[in-house]
Amino acid sequence: MMKVGIIGAGRIGKVHAKNISMFVPEIEIKTIADPFMNGQTEEFAKKCGIPNVTKDANDILNDPEIDAVLICSSTDTHSKYIIEAAKAGKHIFCEKPIDYDLKKVHEAIDAAKNAGVKLQIGFCRRFDHNHHAVYQMVRDGKVGKVNIIKISSRDPEPPPIAYVKVSGGIFYDMMIHDFDMARFLAGSEVTEVNAVGSVLVDPEIGAAGDVDTAVVTLKFENGAIGIIDNSRKAVYGYDQRVEVFGSEGCARNENDIPNTAVLSNESGTSYENPYKIMWDRYTGAFVAEIQAFVDAIVNDKETPVTGMDGLYPVLMAAAATKSLKEGRPIKISEVE
């Protein structure tokens, strides 16, 4: 039985803890660490059957019984913990992004590589049933050569302004998932990015130096073209759809909805909106990514989202940020 430690007991740390306790019987969470550990978190840990709680991540990093760590702390600590965990010989699952500083990203990736430990980045959407089904169609050649990739990704509500101010901007904090999805679906690297953005949802987001509506076009090495649109606010729910158009067909998906009931009355025919909450939408994806991490360790395989997969979306976010600022397309080579 593999033993893991979780660093960070915030929202995402708790999601992983609960999922592992319910759905991943192959691993056992020995310790959960958080500098703000309190009674409530201890109670939570108990419910999940986690025997040890601590304020000090070193209790995990220095524990020889622990085989792997899940890094769910704040982004600014990711690379540090990756490097330390790698040194301690532990396999690493790290939430996205590794860091916004490309030098730190490279150091973290190198550390894991040199230590020979597995490193998986938490791009959970790759494991979503709907996105993965489109991916599988593409990989199975069902759309032929990929020509156009379209991704719509819209949140039900903007985050608090306080968060917007420190998030690094819409490209780093929101579209980074879509950058990853674009590469995942295309099977090719992005060479150039052009970003357009507006403040249409909330002027305060503009005042904080960010945009809330953004469209990015991507050029891929293989000639394919990508389009991503983001909005901080879709009143009808969490809108997440992808489309891959190719020489032999087109694969696309729709949002999940809570139920399939349809009502027809005098005013028209209607059905329910997509989920409003990310955790409801990607429930299965969070479980599946941990299962894939365990599988990579147990069967000594490459993880399905490598350190380099963590690097490229950051490069794309850097390019998009620069493109929006300068009003021109930016080559990835300009930001590497």
Residues 220-249 that bind a copy of itself (CB under 8 A): 223-225, 227, 229, 231, 233-237, 239, 245, 247-249
Identify the burial level of 148 via C-beta atoms within 10 angstroms of its C-beta, where 0-12 means exposed, 13-18 middle and 19 or more buried: middle
**Cβ of residue 156: shortest distance to a copy of itself, in angstroms?**
10
Closer CB to a copy of itself, 199 or 308, in the complex: 199
Site for a copy of itself in 259-288 (CB under 8 A): 259-273
Q: Does 46 interact with a copy of itself (rule: CB under 8 A)?
A: no
Q: How far is the C-alpha of 12 from the C-alpha of 71, rounded, in Å? A: 10
Site string for a copy of itself, 144-163 (x = CB under 8 A): xx-xx-x-x-x---------
**Cβ of residue 115: shortest distance to a copy of itself, in angstroms?**
34
**Cβ of residue 62: shortest distance to a copy of itself, in angstroms?**
31
**Cβ of residue 63: shortest distance to a copy of itself, in angstroms?**
25
Closer CB to a copy of itself, 107 or 229, in the complex: 229
Site string for a copy of itself, 13-42 (x = CB under 8 A): ---------xx-x-----------------
Nearest to 17 by CA among 43, 55, 56: 43
List 28, 256, 289, 309, residue binding a copy of itself (CB under 8 A): 256
Q: Is 250 helix (H, G, I), strand (E, B) or coil?
A: strand
Q: Does 258 interact with a copy of itself (rule: CB under 8 A)?
A: yes
DSSP 206-240: HHTT--SEEEEEEEETTS-EEEEEEES--TT--EE
Nearest to 78 by CA among 281, 242, 307, 312: 307
Main-chain dihedrals φ then ψ at residue 172, nearest 5 degrees: -80, -30
Q: How far is the C-alpha of 64 from the C-alpha of 3, rounded, in Å? A: 10
Site for a copy of itself in 192-211 (CB under 8 A): 194, 196-201
Q: Does 137 interact with a copy of itself (rule: CB under 8 A)?
A: yes
Q: How far is the C-alpha of 108 from the C-alpha of 104, rounded, in Å? A: 6
Closer CB to a copy of itself, 259 or 299, in the complex: 259
Q: How far is the C-alpha of 167 from the C-alpha of 320, rounded, in Å? A: 15
Site for a copy of itself in 59-118 (CB under 8 A): none
Buried b / exposed e along 209-222 (16+ C-beta atoms within 10 A)? ebbbbbebbbbbee
**Cβ of residue 54: shortest distance to a copy of itself, in angstroms?**
24
Q: How far is the C-alpha of 308 from the C-alpha of 314, rounded, in Å? A: 10
**Cβ of residue 82: shortest distance to a copy of itself, in angstroms?**
32
